[in-house]
Amino acid sequence: MEASGENTITNSTEKYSFLDQIGEPVPKSKLIGKRVCDIIFGTIFGIISLPVILIFGEL
């Protein structure tokens, strides 16, 4: 019975071969730059969409 139990463990790990494709972690400098861009673009698009939200909020 133990041999069949070991077989199922190896079969289940073979299904998750995508874990081998994980690359290197992203450097913190790039994460900080991405966060700054997200804040800037989020603020810009928030300001642009504010009149549209107010118009539909009045209806």
Burial per residue of 14-27, b for 16 or more beta-carbon CB atoms within 10 angstroms, e otherwise: eeeeeeeeeeeeee
Element (H, E) at 27: none
Whether pTM > 0.85 for this model: the answer is no
Does residue 34 or residue 14 have the better pLDDT? 34
Whose tokens are 């009149």? That residue is 51
Tokens linked to 16: 């998750």
Q: Is the pLDDT of residue 4 over 60?
A: no
Lowest mean pLDDT among 2-6, 26-30, 50-54: 2-6
Count of H-run helices and E-run strands, the chain: 2, 0
Report the alpha-carbon distance of residue 16 to residue 44 in Å, rounded.
Answer: 41
Does residue 51 or residue 4 have the better pLDDT? 51
Q: Is the pLDDT of residue 10 over 60?
A: no
Q: Give per-residue pLDDT as tens, 33-55.
A: 999 999 999 999 999 999 999 99
